Structure 1
Amino acid sequence: MARSKIWKYYDKIDLQTAQCLLCEKIIKTCGNTSNLMKHMKTHPQIDVNDHDSIVVRGILKREPNPIKSRGRKQLKYASIKIKSEPKREVDNDQVTNDMDVNIIELVDAEATAAVDSVASEETYANWATAAAETESATETVSAEDIIEFEPKEANEQNDQRSVYQMQSEEAQPEMDHLIASNNVYQNSLAYFICHDKQPLNMIKGEGFKRLVQVLCPTFRLPSSEQLAAHIGQRAQIQIAQLRQVFAHVQSLSLSCAINTKSEQQFSYLEVAAHYNEGLYRRSKTISVQMLPLQYNASNIVERLDRICQRFDIDKSKIVCIVSRSNRLMENAVAMLLGSQRHVPCFAHLLEQLFELVVQRHEFSALCDKVRRCQGQQMEKIDVAGRPLSSYEMLERYVKQTAQLQKLLPPDALTGAELDLAAELITVLAPLASAMRQLCGTSISTYPSASNALPIAYTVLNELKQPEIAEQQQHQISYDLRLFVIRLLEERFEVMENNTQLALSSLLDPRFRNMPFQSASLVAKYMTQLYDLYEEKGGVIPVESSQEANTDNYDIWAAYRAFSHEKHKHINMNGESENMDEISSYFCSSISSLQTEPLLLWKDLVQFHPFLHSLAKRYLHIPASALPPARIFTAGGEETIAQHEKFLDEQLSNMVLMADCARDEWQL
């Protein structure tokens, strides 16, 4: 049976459907060609009985199972081309069910465009008019017989767009995670460089690159310039945060130290800020700037002005500046803030005193003999330029010798020399203990200035005890003790006359007016406190406590409020009812030495609000211009050596970020 001539205008999809090659609509066949003939009437330009016309179309690309892909088949572009050829007979035996007898040509995109351009505008206009007339005809294909078909080009674009969107949505979390990871890696690398004070060119080493590649193959190691820029950005964020802090604090103090590089003889001005944050003291190194080869007080003032502008520090909030005692720094502080605003570095005073002791012949001779005897065994303890290390070396030698007894080398100290060394160690023990106490547990810790007078007063009192004098059998140790007492008294007098040091001790509940030798000076400072009290009118509002928050009830806060009221009631009926705020403060018992002074004021503020407001102005002052561990031990030389690794333009940013906590680095 010959195949119907209508099939040259359709492409058979399966047993139930066929696709029109003219409009690309899919028509239900239902096993016959009735619907196909009806649909072709919608194309009046087509004469079904015209055997001279040939349909040129694209190859139909079918999926393995065309039934499953019905309604969503993706086709290549097809076009209709009218040709005029001689009429010829068609052999019915060569006709198959899946392929027409039409001439088939491969039409690519360029051929399709060429065919479209050949078609005349008149032909398209006639087609459009005929289609409009056909829609009104009575004999048409019903809607249920037509399967809606979306053109291939739109299908491809939509499919590509949806695939791209799906891939983007799936890849977005991974990209976000990758970006966040890279930020963490870069911050961690910058944290390592700054915190450990390593040079930037360290990341150029092949070994370091290999280590990073093994630990994180996806991380692209930045250049030293990029890392320096990243550290600079983090420093700007830190500066902005410190500006906000300094804008809210009522007062702060600065510490200044001039460090000199050993080889290049360049000097750097290191500045740290000290302030109260809630109930705790905070210290932060904010700048390290290079000084000229021949610097003076004006150069120092210029750099301090620059630092204040950079961090928006109001000079009226600066209570004082702590530095070593020399005319240069005192003049610089006077030019910047006015006279009487300089506080001597207590740690440096002790260092100078110990250095004078070590330089005495009777002490240095014993140390030199121990060095010759012990050699390399004492190298780690004995540090050149650190007087405290000489004392520790001699102290350790005496203890070891006492344990070895008679098993001593020939060049060891004799029995008389060992006895003398033991007495010298006993004389200097209070002074050495004071220096160790100042060092604390961290190389970056600044002790409070309120500790200076109590420590110096205690050392003096210990050296004057008769028990120590009775233990001394050598004239050398006796003379050394008197020498240390005289030097301490000279320095103690200077410290006692410094208003900032004196008021910081007076307003510390742990010490109050105890560590003073001069009663006249105590009376002078008490008068100043009363004058300030009268200027304020004697009425200072008590600061609101956060413990009043009922959302987080604290039983001890309730007890504290009850005890305060009871204490007030006792005072009103007792002998102290006529005592004012200042008198009652200095008549009260000394507080625990194990508690921070600001924490003690948390309980005392109810009774002494004026003194509490004044204490916050002085209790943040440090006792030293540098952390004492950097003054007394080899930590100072190590820090300077680490600073030498940095370039001048990078030094300030890297030192600023060196002591930032991990949360400030977003790690």
Structure 2
Amino acid sequence: MLPKRSISKSKPSKVWSYFVKSENGGKCKLCQKFVKSSGNTTNLTNHLKRNHKKIYLNEKQLEIGKETAGPSNVNLFNLEAKASTSKAKFPKTDSESKYSDINTDERMDSGSEYSHRSPTPTAAKNSDVNVVICTSTDSQSQSFVSQKGRKRQQRIDQSFSDISSFSEGGNKANKVTNAIIFMIAKDNCPLNITEKVGFQYLMRTVAPSYHIPGRKTISNLMDEKYEVLFKLMKDKISSIKHFCFTSDVWTDTLNSRSFVGVTVHMVCENKLLNLTIALEELSKHHTGEYLADKLSNIFRHWEIPLEKFVAAVTDNGSNIVKAISILLGKSKHLPCFAHTLNLVAQKVCEDDAIHEIIKAVKQIITFFKHSVAASDELRKRNDLKLIQSVPTRWNSTYYMLEKFVKISEDVGTVLLKFPDAPRMLTAGELQIINEIISNLKPIEQVSKEISGDSYVTASIVIPLQNCMIKQISNLSPATDIGKHLKQIILSEITKRFGEIEGVSLLTIATLLDLRFKTIHFNSPLKLSHSVMKLKRLIEESQNEIINEETIEEPTKNENTGSIWDYHMQLSSHDKRTRRENGKENNAGINELDHYFSQPLVDRKVNPIQFWFEHKLAYPVLFEIAAQYFPIVATSVPTERLFSRAGNIMDPSRNRLSSTKFGRLLFLNSLELIGIYNIQIK
């Protein structure tokens, strides 16, 4: 008897990652259309090729990615409709419309299930086009179109085609469903919004033939959308060499649950981009080891090697600092500049003399908040409203004092009318408040400037700190409290930022920013150390290039029978000679000398754009700049993530699982980088 042949199970096609498999085919996760298959994936592939060309081309590019160098040419961060040139903020669901087709030339006027009247044309006149809309419950399109004075009734086959398109599985129905998914993710709507009376009435009005999906269907479609977008984003960032990430721990007070959030930052093509990759629930005590393990699992899920991370930015919490030290090492941890700056401002507000004046202002504002009559009287005199400070935000105290001074005259007038009102501040106290505002204003401006995530911030920390010290030093307070306040601020800044010129993550970024270079360094010794560090990076980068060329040389020097064989031998010999003499190693140093000899550019110039435009002139410096520019100066991106998380986890959605919660945040963040609308052809 012949032995049985072992049959190896074939690996499923990657095409199936875009379809929900069923007995006779699969439903497309991108547009929810059912595609039949006959035991193969030809129809599925053709569907992607015809209807989702960007995705199809991206998959083809990934198949040959190992054979070709460089990132994919498909720009998933700027997917647009094939025939569209609009720059609308929200993703399109058609090549000629900001929303679904239900909002354009196929919109109807009645559509209510309560309306069963016969078609009654109503004219809407325009300077160029006259539209005659037929009220009907059976069609979402116009029955009559009058263009340039000529009326044309829609053909009956077109009317039936529109009805079919809005039925379940139809093209327009799929577009509406995708728009609903986007709305839920972006506007923090509950998943059961499609079951609410108001939403159902709206859809019956604009699209009576559309079958409104229920909560479970929406939940499943949301998961399918996440799976596809997650795969696309993971494939996209796989070609990026350098990342920075921010992380922090957030507690949902509504349900007493804790989460760790992570955002990653990168330079893609010529833009600085950020992405929310995780908000995972914490089930154990928040030790450094546990947080490090959680972060490691998140990066493993996204297939981002730890070696690609240039820096990690967090607050000064001991547990998260220890987690970064375990994960990446101490040298790659960067404390949040905004948190440290916040400590300076808090120290100022805690001073006894300053605290008493702030306390007096708070008492007056509290009186107006509790007295309706006083608030009404103040509103008659001034449209501006008093604002109360928040203990956890120092800048709220700054804004409170600023607003109080602006309307102090009206406040004093109103207080005189109420016997039980607190006393109004004297002219001397108002002068002190003005000096407090003048001293805190540079700190507030730096806090705003440094907290961005769409432009390079690592390179502006040292310049901003230097400008802040200079501006505060130039102040001339008239009161003793104002002078005392100035000394406190300068002392705290020196204490907390005195060694900032020794942080190589920031100094290298500053040196490679053509707007600043060396002009903001106050310590010649630290500047010298930073330049030496940059030169070592140049040599390391140059050696990597030389090693790559050395590996390739044997194949280049083979005798191919070409007339140029002898030239190749001479060329290789010249390279070896230059390498031995050290000339080739100095190429990067020559780049640096030439770069430093060039004048500074305007502060508003985008440094990333500059390096992409001049990477041929400075190939080695370009690679180093691309490594350090993704570093963000603060962990504010994670704070913003938590703000969005708080909006999502409201009482109407407090039963969301942690997995669904994280997926909604991921989908919520994607519109900002223009990738959400992938169903466009």
Q: Normalised by the size of structure 2, how large is the TM-score? A: 0.61
Q: How many corresponding residue pairs?
A: 455
SS of the residue 1:664 aligns to? coil
SS of the residue 1:590 aligns to? coil
Pairs within 5 Å for 1:509-588? 509-537=514-542, 580-588=590-598
1:218 to 186, 209, 215: 209
Asked if 1:481 is matched to 2:486, the reply is yes
Return closer, same or farther for 1:185/1:427 CA change in 2, 3 Å cut-off: same
Q: What are the superposed Cα offsets for residues 78-108 of structure 1, whole Å, 9 maximum, x if unpaired?
A: xxxxxxxxxxxxxxxxxxxxxxxxxxxxxxx
Asked if 1:456 is matched to 2:486, the reply is no
Residue 11 of structure 2 is matched in structure 1 by none
Q: What are the superposed Cα offsets for residues 139-180 of structure 1, whole Å, 9 maximum, x if unpaired?
A: xxxxxxxxxxxxxxxxxxxxxxxxxxxx99996786456422
Matches of 2:675 and 2:254 in 1, distance apart? Answer: 37
Residue 279 of structure 2 is matched in structure 1 by 288
SS of the residue 2:676 aligns to? helix
Residue 579 of structure 2 is matched in structure 1 by none
Pairs within 5 Å for 1:383-402? 383-401=390-408
CA RMSD of aligned residues (A): 3.1
Asked if 1:420 is matched to 2:411, the reply is no
Is the CA contact (8 Å cut-off) linking 1:257 and 1:626 kept in structure 2?
no
1:599 to 590, 609, 616: 609
SS of the residue 1:476 aligns to? helix
SS of the residue 1:217 aligns to? coil
Pairs within 5 Å for 1:191-202? 191-202=182-193
Residue 269 of structure 2 is matched in structure 1 by 278
1:640 to 620, 640, 646: 646
CA-CA distance at 1:527 after TM superposition: 1.0
Residue 230 of structure 1 is matched in structure 2 by 221
Report the AA paired with residue 592 of structure 2.
I
Return closer, same or farther for 1:174/1:296 CA change in 2, 3 Å cut-off: same
Is the CA contact (8 Å cut-off) linking 1:538 and 1:610 kept in structure 2?
no
Report the AA paired with residue 418 of structure 1.
L
Asked if 1:660 is matched to 2:660, the reply is no
CA-CA distance at 1:498 after TM superposition: 2.3
Is the CA contact (8 Å cut-off) linking 1:273 and 1:283 kept in structure 2?
yes
Q: What are the superposed Cα offsets for residues 332-359 of structure 1, whole Å, 9 maximum, x if unpaired?
A: 1122223311111112222232223223
Pairs within 5 Å for 1:58-457? 175-176=164-165, 178=167, 179-374=170-365, 375-376=368-369, 380=387, 382-401=389-408, 409=416, 411-439=423-451, 448-457=457-466
CA-CA distance at 1:595 after TM superposition: 1.6
Is the CA contact (8 Å cut-off) linking 1:381 and 1:389 kept in structure 2?
yes
Is the CA contact (8 Å cut-off) linking 1:447 and 1:622 kept in structure 2?
yes
Residue 17 of structure 1 is matched in structure 2 by none
Is the CA contact (8 Å cut-off) linking 2:456 and 2:630 kept in structure 1?
no
CA-CA distance at 1:210 after TM superposition: 3.0
Matches of 1:359 and 1:407 in 2, distance apart? Answer: 30
Is the CA contact (8 Å cut-off) linking 2:242 and 2:308 kept in structure 1?
yes
Matches of 2:643 and 2:390 in 1, distance apart? Answer: 10
Q: Which is worse superposed, 490-499 or 300-309?
A: 490-499
Runs of at least 5 residues in structure 2 that lack an aligned partner in the other structure: 1-155, 370-374, 376-384, 547-586
Matches of 1:313 and 1:216 in 2, distance apart? Answer: 44
Q: What are the superposed Cα offsets for residues 441-488 of structure 1, whole Å, 9 maximum, x if unpaired?
A: xxx7576222222212211121222xx1xx312222212211111221
Q: What are the superposed Cα offsets for residues 357-400 of structure 1, whole Å, 9 maximum, x if unpaired?
A: 22333333323322332333656563442210111110111122
Report the AA paired with residue 646 of structure 2.
I
Matches of 1:203 and 1:249 in 2, distance apart? Answer: 39
Matches of 1:500 and 1:246 in 2, distance apart? Answer: 22
Matches of 2:204 and 2:191 in 1, distance apart? Answer: 18
Q: What are the superposed Cα offsets for residues 167-213 of structure 1, whole Å, 9 maximum, x if unpaired?
A: 99996786456422222222211211111223324444333333333
Matches of 1:436 and 1:373 in 2, distance apart? Answer: 28
**Computing the radius of gyration over CA atoms, which structure comes out larger, 1 or 2?**
1
Return closer, same or farther for 1:494/1:284 CA change in 2, 3 Å cut-off: farther
SS of the residue 2:636 aligns to? coil
Return closer, same or farther for 1:173/1:252 CA change in 2, 3 Å cut-off: same
Report the AA paired with residue 620 of structure 2.
F
Matches of 2:256 and 2:510 in 1, distance apart? Answer: 38
Return closer, same or farther for 1:214/1:225 CA change in 2, 3 Å cut-off: same
Q: Normalised by the size of structure 1, how large is the TM-score? A: 0.63
Matches of 2:388 and 2:300 in 1, distance apart? Answer: 43
Is the CA contact (8 Å cut-off) linking 2:246 and 2:262 kept in structure 1?
yes
Report the AA paired with residue 429 of structure 2.
E
